[in-house]
């Protein structure tokens, strides 16, 4: 059943805009699949879906009615910051990036996907991304690079 449910979720997200879990639950119900919010939340995590400006998206960038980038990958850091980014600040070897509510996950995913050499890792909340760098020098470089993207 889990395999069928995951396939249905992938299909729904890839073919139509799904903006929240309740909408996804209703669409699954129309397909004869009953699911609780807790199970749906786990499925979203297991499928590595993230929420973008157009709704939920698959890790390969498909979904929410959004087209793939030319290279077939997810949106770039600059594109995601254009949609969600608000401000950036450095603290020692860390960079704190504030986003619109719900924007931290797609921003962190884009940073992770691009594999910036100065970035050791990211942690995303709901509206805040913590970017951990190797040292303060690299954090200053990352802050500057992100700030340029936010201001462009």
SS (H, E, C) 62-76: CECCECCCCCCCCCC
Interatomic CA distance for residues 76 and 146, integer angstroms: 12
pTM of the entire predicted model: 0.56
Q: What is the pLDDT along the chain (152 residues), one digit of tens a residue?
A: 888 899 999 888 888 888 888 889 999 999 899 999 889 888 888 888 887 777 888 876 555 544 344 445 567 888 888 888 899 999 999 999 999 888 888 899 889 988 999 999 999 998 999 999 999 999 999 999 999 999 87
């Amino acid at each position: 059943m889990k395999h069928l449910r995951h396939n249905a979720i992938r299909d729904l997200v890839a073919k139509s805009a799904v903006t929240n879990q309740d909408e996804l639950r209703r669409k699954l119900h129309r397909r004869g699949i009953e699911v609780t919010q807790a199970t749906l939340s786990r499925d979203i995590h297991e499928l590595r879906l993230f929420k973008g400006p157009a709704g939920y998206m698959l890790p390969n960038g498909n979904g929410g009615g959004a087209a793939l980038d030319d290279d077939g990958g997810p949106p770039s850091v600059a594109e995601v910051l254009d949609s969600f980014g608000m401000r950036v600040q450095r603290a020692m070897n860390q960079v704190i990036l504030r986003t619109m509510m719900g924007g931290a996950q797609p921003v962190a995913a884009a940073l992770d996907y691009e594999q910036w050499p100065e970035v050791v890792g990211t942690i995303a909340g709901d509206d805040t991304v913590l970017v951990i760098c190797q040292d303060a020098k690299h954090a200053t470089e990352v802050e500057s690079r992100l700030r340029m993207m936010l201001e462009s």
